[in-house]
Chains A and B, each alone.
Chain A
Amino acid sequence: MSKVIVYCEHTGGNVRRASLEAIGAAASAGAEVVAVLWGEGASVAAASAAGAAKAICLTGDASFSPDAVAAAVTEVIQSEDAKGFLAAASYRGKDLCPRIAAHLDVSPFADCIEFMAAGESFQVKRPWLAGKALATLGTTGGVLCATTRLNVFEPVDGPGPSDCSEHAVSAPAKATVTSTEAKADAKLDVNEASVVVSGGRGLQEAANFKLVEDLAAAFGNAAVGASRAVVDLDWRPHGEQVGQTGKTVAPQLYVAVGISGAIQHLAGMRTSGVIVAINKDAEAPIFKVADYGIVGDAFEIVPALTEAVKAVKAQS
């Protein structure tokens, strides 16, 4: 059984769901998983790495250095004789993976939506041209390094590793994170949420995003997204932008309010589980990818939908 090293991000003593999904991807290909964690609380969080046979905690400087940590993860990959490396396609995972790939002199694959065994090695499927095409890719040798798109793979339902060994980060840090300004609120990130409610120019002005926020709040596990048009108008922050020049999301449910569905927006959300579109223009391209559409005035429909979702949630 080939071994896959999975870099696990953690917060509050638990491995993040996105990293659990990366373990799930490795496990689905029949790999033996070794979880690697960095930072304060790593040894506690390691126990929650469901599906990993063992865990290795990286120890060293209290400040994070992406280059030093990438070098340390590379050492672990080599000493474990792993055939694969996975991380979530989060900021951290996408930043570390290519560095590790360069150390191993291989070509990495970002944002993978499938991970399969191929003999001793692995293959991945990933989008090209923002999802207009899907490429199946493998390696001609060496470790397959990849990141897994969030909300695509299922975490393993099982125990985590029972202990955590240590590996020292020994490479000198070239770049160092010196401070982190935490987010003002504990809002769900748009590419992590299982429900995304996005608004576009059809909302007419920034203040009307309240309708979208209320609907997201009614779902409870939802994040607010935005089209490029409204981010360019400074109605919403870039962190909420869904699309080719924003974030790619694949929630279970995506609700597009007042978004016409420009090609670059569709690129960012077309792999969502279920797509609902609310738009006054029955010819809007968003309806071509939507599973369910309502044609009409968002200012009437969205508040009614919010109340209806609240009523459903109150019953369950």
Chain B
Amino acid sequence: MNIVACVKRVPTTEAVAKPAADGKGLDASEFQYMISFYDKIAVEQAVQTKEAAGSGEVTVLTLGPSSGTKEIRECLAKGGDKAVVLTDDDWQSRDARSTAKALVAQLSAMNADVVFMGRVATDRDNAAVGPMVATYLGWPCVTDVIGLEIADGKGSAKVETDAGIETVEFQLPAVITCQKGLNEPRTAGLKGIMAAKKKPLEELAPEAIENQSDVIEVALPPARKEGRIVGEGAAAVPALIDALQNEAQVL
């Protein structure tokens, strides 16, 4: 099977947001980066799918800066066979459509059977690129998958919706976005880390695609008004009830 795992390099969870000088983005000068939480689940699912099929190849695909290959090597250390980096040092300014179209252009040439992505990238939190890529390619897509079986060119996925657990059936090729619970991503062993250094990593220029969305302003959220400790222990409960009823009026 020809399997692709799409990953995104995002600021770490601890990152502090500061609007950029022009107010149209975030000041990235002090960001540290990691592979987005859910994309690690996508890489694991790609490797497990290959292992279950008994043969095949896992390509890790990303759109990001040329300096971001450390995180991509980590994905190779966890079982990816090769990587394709669509290099764009301004990747954080791309909108979902522009990212999706660049991935679509690359995927069209890759002849993949299945493409795994994270449910959402934890920077823009937009959860858009997976279903957009599938729609542009004319492929089926299942989002937020927590259980998956793939065999004989078909797949069956489980997703948790507001209605309950749905089973979704589809034909390959398909795009699957991965939710927490689908698998437990492995940690890279020393052998994997050493092997990853020698695995092919190709850097390509992505298609230049203008953004369709327009950033008008990026600002910090208004600070919450100062709260207060109403007291200590169970003796403080009446004061809390009074505050919730008369001050906040939520009870």
Task: List residues of chain A with CB under 8 Å of any chain B CB.
Answer: 9, 11, 16, 66-67, 70, 90-92, 94-95, 97-99, 101-103, 105-111, 123, 127-142, 174-183, 189, 192, 195, 238-239, 241, 244-246, 252-253, 263-264, 270-271, 273-276, 282, 287-297, 300-301, 303-305, 308-309, 312
Contacts and interface: CB of A to CB of B under 8 A. Distances in A.
A99 B141 contact: yes
B216 A129 contact: no
Given A94-B143, A137-B214, A130 B135 contact: no
Given A128-B123, A292-B227, 14 more contacts: A11-B163, A67-B134, A98-B127, A101-B96, A128-B218, A134-B219, A175-B174, A241-B180, A253-B248, A291-B224, A291-B225, A291-B227, A292-B230, A295-B232
Given A133-B26, A137-B213, A263-B13, A282 B229 contact: yes
Contact of A300 (B132, B179, B233, B244): B233
Interface residues of B, number: 86
A305 B26 CA distance: 42
Interface in B78-117: 95-98, 100
A44 B77 CA distance: 55
A215 B122 CA distance: 32
A301 B233 contact: yes
B67 interface: no
14 contacts: A66-B131, A91-B162, A129-B17, A129-B26, A129-B125, A132-B15, A178-B168, A181-B164, A181-B167, A245-B122, A276-B244, A294-B230, A294-B232, A305-B240
A289 B221 CA distance: 13
B214 A305 contact: no
Contacts of B33: none
B165 A181 contact: yes
B48 to A, nearest CB: 19
Question: Chain B binding site: helix, strand, loop or mixed by DSSP?
Answer: mixed
Contacts of A290: 227
A135 B168 CA distance: 34
Given A133-B218, A141-B212, A245-B180, A296 B233 contact: yes
Contacts of B244: 253, 274, 276, 292
Nearest to A262: B13
B138, B144, B231, most chain A CB atoms within 10 A: B231
Contacts of A303: 234
B237 A175 contact: no
A215 to B, nearest CB: 11
A288 B225 CA distance: 10
A22 B131 CA distance: 21
B213 A294 contact: no
A177 B16 CA distance: 40
A273 B233 CA distance: 24
Contacts of A282: 229
B142 interface: yes
Contact of B167 (A107, A128, A177, A300): A177
